[in-house]
Amino acid sequence: MYAPTPPNPDAPPLRINLYSDTQTRPTRAMREAMLNAEVGDEQLGLDPTINALCARVARLLGKEAAIFLPSGAMCNSIAILTHCRPGDEIIAHESAHIIEAEGGAPWALAGARVHGLPGARGFFSADDLRASLRGASRYAAPQTLLEIEQTSNLGGGAVWPLATLQELAGIAHEAGMATHMDGARLMNAVVASGVAAADYAAPFDTVWIDFTKGLGAPLGAVLAGSAATIDQAWHWKQRLGGSLRQAGICAAGCLYALDHHVDRLAEDHANAKRLAEGLAGVAGIVIEPPDTNLVYADVATSGRTPGAWAESLRAQGIMVSVMGRTRLRLCTHLDVSAADIEETIAAFAAIN
């Protein structure tokens, strides 16, 4: 599903990087904050900057405790390992990141399978969830975890409505299941909808936010939940080699991002909207209107494959993602300006 443009030594220098918001680079001010960070042994709880970040994220998400981890994928894996046992079943959308982009980690690490539910824009309904529940049976895998991705990446960066999340989590809890939110782009949902992060997180037993996407830090994610759950998560962090030493250098970048890079996500959303409007005028391209910072372009009727589009754009110094057989993904972030958007629109029109 994720297919980066192959390196081309003859391609011109990369000027506009719309491949992913993971491509953001720490700003000079963020680097200075990292340089000046107080540090200590994170594994022993002695890093004051890590401790400050975890406490702040726990408050932001309305949870008792939080744990700093190197990546969002590790947050998902540790949450799954904490909630599930070998042979268990997780219910998620069929396009969920834990299915499509984490190397089969639920199966490989936790021994848990993922049952993917269909639905447009990465969503499924309360009726879909109810229909997937089997009840206790000695013949079937125990269904122990509901997983939701906010925003839905392969759903076009779509924002789950709060009422839907509350209803789904309620059904899962009533069925005896735990609930987990993959909040890789949760702050994009917060900025786009005006709903507080704690409100989105409230129905979920565990939730995390990533600092390496739109928030622009070079490293780090924070998983939050009850104190007991995070205590269990620490065991898995230790087992997986995620315990760190003077990681406050990284946490300082995350704290800087919370102070300076959340509100500005609205700029990314505005740039994505403008990009979608511009590309909608290019013959043979069908645009999925964006909720946030992800623009998906279906090029099936353009006469060119997504790979051919990506190659032609890369020849002009523009990098995009190839997403499957017919789609391109263009992701706006803090290293993409409004002028870059106009240049990209013009490049598409010129190729066509």
Q: What is the pLDDT of residues 200-256, one digit of tens each?
A: 999 999 999 999 999 999 999 999 999 999 999 999 999 999 889 999 999 999 999
Beta strand pairing status for 294-298 and 286-288? antiparallel
| pLDDT at residue 123, as a whole number | 98
User: Residue 337: is its pLDDT beyond 90?
Assistant: yes
Whole-model pTM over 0.75: yes
User: Residue 7: is its pLDDT beyond 70?
Assistant: no
Q: What is the pLDDT of residues 17-41, one digit of tens each?
A: 999 999 999 999 999 999 999 999 9
| pLDDT at residue 120, as a whole number | 96
The residue among 115, 109, 101, 116 whose CA lies nearest residue 85 is 109
Fold designation for 2-25+264-351? Aspartate Aminotransferase, domain 1 (3.90.1150)
Q: What is the pLDDT of residues 269-307, one digit of tens each?
A: 999 999 999 999 999 999 999 999 999 999 999 999 999
> With 0-12 CB in 10 A as exposed, 13-18 as middle and 19+ as buried, what is 135?
exposed
Domain ranges of the chain: 2-25+264-351, 37-260
User: Residue 3: is its pLDDT beyond 70?
Assistant: no
Q: For the chain, state the CA radius of gyration.
A: 20
Q: What is the pLDDT of residues 135-150, one digit of tens each?
A: 888 999 999 999 999 9
| pLDDT at residue 8, as a whole number | 62
List residues bridging with 319 in a β-sheet. Answer: 17
pLDDT band at 12 (very low <50, low <70, confident <90, very high): confident
User: Residue 96: is its pLDDT beyond 80?
Assistant: yes
- Encoded tokens for 4: 């980066």
The C-alpha atoms of residue 105 and residue 87 are separated, in whole angstroms, by: 14
- Encoded tokens for 252: 């300082």
| pLDDT at residue 338, as a whole number | 98
Q: What is the pLDDT of residues 100-117, one digit of tens each?
A: 999 999 999 999 999 999
Beta strand pairing status for 221-225 and 206-210? antiparallel
pLDDT, the chain, mean = 95
| pLDDT at residue 135, as a whole number | 85
The answer to whether residues 326 and 15 touch, using CB atoms and an 8 Å cutoff, is no
pLDDT band at 11 (very low <50, low <70, confident <90, very high): confident
**CATH code for the structural domain at 37-260:** 3.40.640.10
> With 0-12 CB in 10 A as exposed, 13-18 as middle and 19+ as buried, what is 283?
exposed
- Dihedral over Cα of 23, 309, 293, 70: its sign: negative
pLDDT band at 9 (very low <50, low <70, confident <90, very high): low
- Which of these ranges, 10-14, 34-38, 169-173, has the smallest mean pLDDT? 10-14
| pLDDT at residue 136, as a whole number | 85
